[in-house]
Amino acid sequence: MSQQASRIEARRVKVAMLAAVTAGVLAAATASAVHLGAAARHQPGTAPGAHAVQAANRGRAGSPAPLRVLSVSPADSADPVTAADPVQVVFSAPLAAGSPRPVLRPAVRGQWDIDGNTMVFTPAAPLAPAARETLRIPAGYSGERSTTGARLVAPASAVFQAGGWSVLRLEQLLAQLGYLPLTWVPQNGASAGGPVDVSYAQPGGATAGSFSWQSGYPAALTSLWQPGQPGVVLTGALMAFAADHGLPMTGTATSALWQALLSAAAQNERNPDGYTYALVSKAQPETLTVFHNGRVVVHGLANTGAPATPTPDGTFPVYLRNRSQVMRGLMPDGTPYADPVQFVSFFSGDYAVHSMSRPSYGSPQSLGCVELPLSEARTVWPYLTYGTLVTVTG
């Protein structure tokens, strides 16, 4: 089968699936910011999907029901816009061959086709990731019409942002800005410390080049990362970048984060805190080691959770920091406690690194947190910024 035939067949399968789940598609249309006129709005007390289906199947005797827009894809998502993933507008009825084509602004080279009740726009070249487009669908006597003569009552519009970003490209930019403990060298030979490359030489935004680990980091960290694969190392870097730029620390690459990342890359705004990694060892004597920019800046005794209240093993990003607070909860026997602590960095649930006055350190005796002497906690706290990874290992 030719590539063109394969694409047409794939579109027909998609259309069939959309028709089979009309109610779900209608809900997606609302979420994808398709704005319809007053005639397309649902009546109070009627679900939007149910109303649209009813409206699409009824009309005055002898006249077709008005034509409706059911969905526009892609929505504002991570989906790319390419020949294999075109723009699709689904209507409530099959379209007449002479129906006018929707308009994209800014203009995009490509071709509109009609396939039953779906209009499909195939771009001549993939849209650049983060390209923002407004799609306008005409209505009335000069607008869309069905094979039965029904017309679109009110114009519809959708605003979407092309996705297609690759995890690899995300890592490239974060590494170049110092949010990953890796060096990224583009294949074109540009200096790793020079201006950040924001070009997009390959589909999905990734450019050719190579990563290398900066020296000084332990295997406990390097074993957690594979290029182009999501994971906790990338999550921590995204949280750190988001915190530095006033964005929600979701640990995901939202459209807003991508825009901020591109802006930071264009202006060469590097990580002001440097890269930090903390390793807690439960091997006695228990210790905390802090690596910053590839060198050990703190290494000392620490306490982890007692057998009845163990500290969880794993790697977690710091998500909350407090200069001081009162830790409250219940002892294993149900007795309440309220302990004032300082230099608090939460990394998993209610588990945190913080100060605690104890007669000794280096053994499992806490209620689950990682406890440090006050002087050491004071030294460690500035390094445990948002997104910093903390590994607890037995």
Residue 99 sits in a domain of what CATH number?
2.60.40.3710
Contact call for residues 291 and 216 (beta carbons, < 8 A): yes
103 and 46 belong to one structural domain: yes
Q: Which residues pair with 78 in a beta bridge?
A: none
Q: Looking at the structure, do residues 234 and 253 belong to the same domain, yes or no?
A: yes
Residues 361 and 281 placed together within one structural domain of the fold:
yes
Q: Which of 193, 205, 195, 196 is nearest to 168 (CA)?
A: 205
Which of 161, 190, 222 is the endpoint of a domain? 161
- The answer to whether residue 213 is domain-embedded is yes
Q: What is the largest CA-CA distance in the chain?
A: 91
Q: Which of 358, 364, 355 is nearest to 284 (CA)?
A: 364
**Which two structure tokens, joined as six digits, stand for 336?**
């309440």
* DSSP at 82: S
Q: For the chain, where are the E strands, in sequence order?
A: 69-73, 87-91, 103-105, 110-115, 118-123, 132-137, 156-161, 182-186, 209-213, 276-281, 287-292, 295-301, 314-317, 320-330, 336-348, 351-355, 370-372, 389-393
Q: What is the helix (H) or strand (E) element at residue 393, kind and residue range?
A: strand 389-393
DSSP conformation class of 40: G
Shared domain for 12 and 83, answered yes or no, is: yes
| pLDDT for 164 | 67
Instruction: Kindly list the distances between the CA atom of residue 105 and the CA atoms of 90, 114, 159, 292, in Å, as whole numbers in the listed order.
Output: 19, 20, 10, 47
- Cα radius of gyration (the chain): 28
In 3D, which of 347, 337, 343, 331 has the Cα closest to residue 373?
343
Asked if the peptide bond before residue 74 counts as cis, ω within 30 degrees of 0, the response is: yes
Q: Is 141 helix (H, G, I), strand (E, B) or coil?
A: helix
Tell me what pLDDT residue 207 has.
62
Same domain assignment for residues 257 and 359: no
Residue 35 placed within a domain: yes
Determine contact, residues 127/79, Cβ cutoff 8 Å. Answer: no
Are 106 and 180 in the same domain?
Answer: no
Q: What are the residues whose beta carbons fall under 8 Å from the beta carbon of 251, sequence distance 6 or more?
A: 235, 236, 238, 239, 242, 317
Strand 351-355 relative to strand 370-372: parallel, antiparallel, unpaired? parallel
Structure tokens at 119: 């209009």
d(C-alpha 180, C-alpha 228), whole Å: 13
Of 287, 277, 176, the residue nearest 233 (C-alpha):
277
> 152 and 213 share a domain?
no
- Which of 197, 149, 158, 162 lies closest to 176, judged by CA? 197
pLDDT of residue 127: 84
Whether the Cβ atoms of residue 225 and residue 193 lie closer than 8 Å to each other: no
Same domain, 215 and 363: no
For residue 20, give the DSSP letter: H
Residues 134 and 251 in one domain: no
pLDDT in tens, 222-253: 999 999 888 999 999 999 999 999 999 999 88
Residue 226 in domain: yes
Q: Does 259 share its domain with 297?
A: no
How crowded is residue 27: how many other Cβ atoms within 10 Å of its Cβ? Answer: 15
In which domain, by residue range, is 39 found? 3-161
- For residue 364, give the CATH number of its domain: 2.40.440.10
Count of domains observed in the chain:
3
Question: Is residue 373 in some structural domain?
Answer: yes
- Look at residue 271 and tell me if it is in a domain: no
131: helix, coil or strand? coil
> Does the residue 137 lie in any domain?
yes
Last residue of some domain: 161, 192, 221?
Answer: 161
Residues 171 and 242 in one domain: yes
Q: Are residues 55 and 72 in the same domain?
A: yes
Q: Which of 161, 194, 226 is the last residue of a domain?
A: 161
For 349, the token pair is 């649930």
Quote the pLDDT of residue 75: 67
Length of the chain counted residue by residue:
394
Q: Please list the ranges in the chain whose pLDDT falls under 50.
A: 1-61, 190-205
CA distance 186 to 192: 8
